[in-house]
Structure 1
Amino acid sequence: MKTILSNQTVDIPKCQHHSEGRYSYCEGPRGTLWRDFNHINVELSLLGKKKKMLRVDKWWGNRKELATVRTICSYVQNMIKGVTLGFCYKMKSVYAHFPINVGIQENGSLVEIWNFLGEKYNHQVCARAGVVCSLSQAQNDELFLEGNDIVLVSNSGALIQQATTVKNKDIRKFLDGIYVSEKGTVQQPDE
């Protein structure tokens, strides 16, 4: 059975949002984000006099197509949160014997890892565009990833974690690596 119409709305509190066709733009104090939803057959429309609400409509969809309505709403909510508060991932290096050394190059866009499991090889990971990496001043083994787009920040964290995967050994015993320990926002939300 097909549902005739499925829709959801998203509140747009503290930023400017406009959509042209299936393109969605968000402007806030931290910058601008945009996303293309042309691959999904939905309608995006702004509601209200001040256009502070976005409605996503899907006509005649089956179960998988109706799930895209909530997905688009989640993407837009993450865009709004990104341009107002920003996203911050905290990563921690874990090691048993050989201490993992981490360095930041090229204004925070390149992470260099050396002495991983005592290897002489240096691992270099380029962060995604718009993501800034920094080392913690308080603690020795912490790394911060900050940016506006949650997809790019989490993808950069995954690239760093994958660069320190243990090969040809029992991963239950060799737990060394750099892992995401905390996810949050750069600025604290006003309650």
Structure 2
Amino acid sequence: MVKIKSLSTLQIPEGVTVEVRGRKVTVTGKRGTLTKDLSHLQLDFRVDKKNRTFTAIRWFGSKIPIACLNTTKTHVQNMITGVTKGYRFKVRCAYAHFPINVSLDGPNIEVRN
């Protein structure tokens, strides 16, 4: 069954701005700016600056295209988290069969076999 209009709305927190140009979404916050090109998705994006909401809309969508709504909402939500709180990754070097040599040179990591 095809739904005529499906939408997914996300609240934008204070201190974060979301801009949409075409299908390029730009999120700016205190930790920087993130841009994501979503032109491969057949969705409409709207930003309501008065109510501080981001809305993704799909017209005449079946089950799979409507699933893209929640995926897009989650991507933008992760972008908002990235520009407000940030992310931190810890990396471990492991090997299974052949031993490896790892050397740190400032911010660079060199892996030699």
Structure ranking higher on relative contact order (CA contacts 8 Å, 6+ apart):
2
> Letter of the aligned partner of 2:22 in structure 1?
G
Report runs of 4+ in structure 1 exceeding 2 Å deviation.
91-96, 98-105
Which residue in the other structure is 2:58 paired with?
58
- Answering whether residue 83 of structure 2 is matched by residue 83 of structure 1, we say yes
How many positions carry a matched residue from both structures?
A: 111
Which residue in the other structure is 1:111 paired with?
109
SS at match of 2:40: coil
> Letter of the aligned partner of 1:15 in structure 2?
V
TM-score (norm 1): 0.52
Unaligned runs of 5+ in 2: none
CA shift for structure 1 position 48: 4.8
SS at match of 1:45: strand
CA distance in 2, matches of 1:16, 1:104: 37
Unaligned runs of 5+ in 1: 114-121, 124-191
CA shift for structure 1 position 16: 1.4
CA shift for structure 1 position 36: 0.9
Which residue in the other structure is 1:34 paired with?
35
Which residue in the other structure is 2:8 paired with?
8
Q: Percent identity?
A: 34
1:68-125 deviation digits (Å, cap 9, x = unpaired):
11111011011111111111122234579x98653333x52x3213xxxxxxxx15xx
Give 1:114-129 correspondences, 5 Å limit. 122-123=112-113
TM-score (norm 2): 0.84
SS at match of 1:10: strand
CA distance in 2, matches of 1:17, 1:75: 13
SS at match of 2:90: strand
| Rg larger for | 1
